[in-house]
Amino acid sequence: MKYDWMDDYAPHERLMCFMVAELAGDEDDDRTEQLSKALGYTHSTTLNRWLDGRSKIPLKHLTGIAKFFNQDVLDLLPLWVMQDQPEDSGLYLAARRIPTSSEFPLINVARNIYLNTLAFLDDDLDEEDEDEDFDDAEDDDED
């Protein structure tokens, strides 16, 4: 998920801005009501307080919000961290380093390449060891 426009907003407002943007264009407020119900609320009052910045979005709802908007929860985690701890940039950077599920296939490919390279290098080292053993045996024959 990449929303460069969010950089224009204060760090503590970015999760709220993400949700407002995702819900934009919903004149009937149907999606707001649907999201409220998906999170276990009977009315959208609490959600509206989140969207206008009157209250913080609880961590316990982050997974539900991510599912509703078809996002990886790990993409939203840094936004939540900045909402909750806007002064702690180190915590934000740590949250951004967690690989998302969309990155796992790439990580697996990189690991396979790395492991195959190690296996290839290990095979080369084994061959060198065999050559050295053979040379030692020839020296013994000469004595």
What string of DSSP letters covers 6-69?
Answer: GGGS-GGGHHHHHHHHHHTT-TT-HHHHHHHHHTT-SSSHHHHHHHTTSSPPPGGGHHHHHHHT
Q: What is the pLDDT of residue 4?
A: 65
Please indicate, yes or no, whether residues 78 and 107 belong to a single structural domain of this protein: no
Q: What is the pLDDT of residue 57?
A: 94
Q: What is the pLDDT of residue 126?
A: 60
Of 60, 77, 96, at which residue does a domain stop? 96
Residue with tokens 């993409």: 75
Please indicate, yes or no, whether residues 16 and 49 belong to a single structural domain of this protein: yes
Which of 65, 129, 81, 72 lies closest to 102 in space, CA to CA? 72
Q: What is the pLDDT of residue 49?
A: 93
Instruction: Give the separation between CA 62 and CA 71, rounded to whole angstroms.
Output: 10
Positions in the chain short of pLDDT 70: 1-6, 26-29, 100, 104, 118-143
Which range marks the domain in which residue 118 is found?
103-143
Please indicate, yes or no, whether residues 114 and 62 belong to a single structural domain of this protein: no
Please indicate, yes or no, whether residues 115 and 63 belong to a single structural domain of this protein: no
Instruction: Give the separation between CA 110 and CA 6, rounded to whole angstroms.
Output: 31
| 57-69 tens-digit pLDDT | 999 999 999 999 9
Please indicate, yes or no, whether residues 124 and 62 belong to a single structural domain of this protein: no
